Amino acid sequence: MAKKDLGATQSGEPITDELVETLVDQAEAGFDTEEVLLRRGGRPPMGSAAASVESVRLDPELRQALSEKAHAEGRTNSELIRDALRRYLHAS
């Protein structure tokens, strides 16, 4: 009987009946969600909880000054804005 072609994993490993059974066994045993979250990458947390995104309108001159200052300091616009806001609010 011909072997079924079940495709391949993202890494190129052929998906076999044995691999499927192994993955099912792992799933039934449960996963360490903390370990999975650490392994998946992404941006590291910035504070005590997930960061929010706030939208701010800048006039063209202020936007240009921000970009020039950030470039001169080797920082991102966001880093510079967060630092300025912390200083203004006296927050750490």
Query: Per the domain annotation, does 81 fall within a domain?
Result: yes
pLDDT at 91 (0 to 100): 65
User: pTM for the whole thing?
Assistant: 0.50
Residues 76-87: b if buried by 16+ CB within 10 A, e if exposed: eeeebbeeeeee
DSSP type of residue 5: -
pLDDT of 53-68, one tens digit each?
899 999 999 999 999 9
Domain-located, residue 73? yes
Please write the tens of the pLDDT for every residue from 21-51: 998 998 888 878 777 767 766 667 777 777 8
pLDDT of residue 40: 67
Number of domains, the chain: 1
Predicted confidence at residue 24, as pLDDT, reads: 92
Q: What is the DSSP string of 23-75?
A: HHHHHHH---HHHHHHHT--PPP-SSSPPP-------HHHHHHHHHHHHHHT-
| 60 φ, ψ (degrees, to nearest 5) | -55, -35
- Domain membership of residue 14 (yes or no) is no
Range with the poorest average pLDDT among 1-10, 27-36, 70-79, 83-92: 1-10
DSSP state of 84: H
Please name the residues in contact with 4: beta carbons below 8 A apart, sequence gap of 6 or more: 17
Name the residue range of residue 92's domain: 58-92
Residue 8, helix vs strand vs coil: strand
**83 falls within a domain:** yes
